């Protein structure tokens, strides 16, 4: 499944087709990796081992090449492919890149840009219409994720 996700990211659009990214799949030392990530900043949440990701894909970019947009496009492709396979994902930009770079086998001349955590969802998520706050929250066992109304973001021309 992770190979499918990496393949989807590999086939994603790349600015000027430079393809400056590599992907590191992580299936071991998950507790150590987790300690260097920041999760659910709006929630009072400290997951137990059962609710931690079952794996990660680290996205590394060749130094001085490509556009940062490539990273987001690749991460999105990973998330959509994982979702198709019934997995939940979380793009992780709030990570300790220095510590993770010491742990992970990052190729020479590449830098860690983003990670995608993946596993089986521990809760149901539900989109709600945003009022004044972007902060996600829990109602019982359901994670509520505020989003702007379609009419607020859609401009027709």
Q: Which residue shows structure tokens 């492709």?
A: 77
| E runs forming strands in the chain | 21-26, 55-62, 88-92, 110-119, 124-129, 137-139, 142-147
- Whether 78 and 8 have beta carbons less than 8 Å apart is answered as yes
Query: Over its length of 157 residues, how does the chain's per-residue pLDDT go in tens digits?
Result: 899 999 999 999 999 999 999 999 999 999 999 999 988 778 877 777 777 899 999 999 999 987 889 999 999 999 999 999 999 999 999 999 999 999 999 999 999 999 999 999 878 889 999 988 999 998 988 999 999 999 999 999 9
CA distance 116 to 89: 6
Residue ranges of domains in the chain, CATH in brackets: 2-122 (3.40.109.10), 123-157 (2.20.180)
- Return all residues near 139 (Cβ < 8 A) that are at least 6 apart: none
Residue 67 tokens, joined? 């556009």
Nearest-10 Cα torsion for 103, 28, 94, 82: 140
């Amino acid at each position: 499944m992770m190979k499918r996700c990496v393949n989807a990211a590999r086939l994603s659009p790349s600015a000027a087709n430079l393809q400056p990214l590599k992907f590191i799949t992580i299936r071991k030392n998950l507790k150590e990796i987790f300690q260097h990530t920041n999760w659910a900043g709006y929630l009072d949440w400290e997951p137990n081992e059962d609710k931690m990701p079952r794996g990660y894909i680290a996205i590394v970019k060749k130094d001085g090449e490509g556009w940062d947009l490539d990273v987001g496009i690749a991460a999105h492709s990973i998330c959509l492919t994982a979702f198709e396979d019934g997995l939940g994902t979380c793009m992780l930009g709030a990570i300790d890149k220095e510590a993770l770079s010491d742990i992970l086998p990052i190729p020479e001349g590449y830098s860690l840009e983003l990670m995608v955590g993946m596993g089986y969802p521990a809760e149901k998520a539900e989109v709600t219409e945003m009022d004044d706050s972007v902060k996600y929250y829990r109602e019982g066992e359901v994670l509520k994720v505020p989003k702007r109304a379609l009419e607020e973001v859609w401009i027709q021309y």
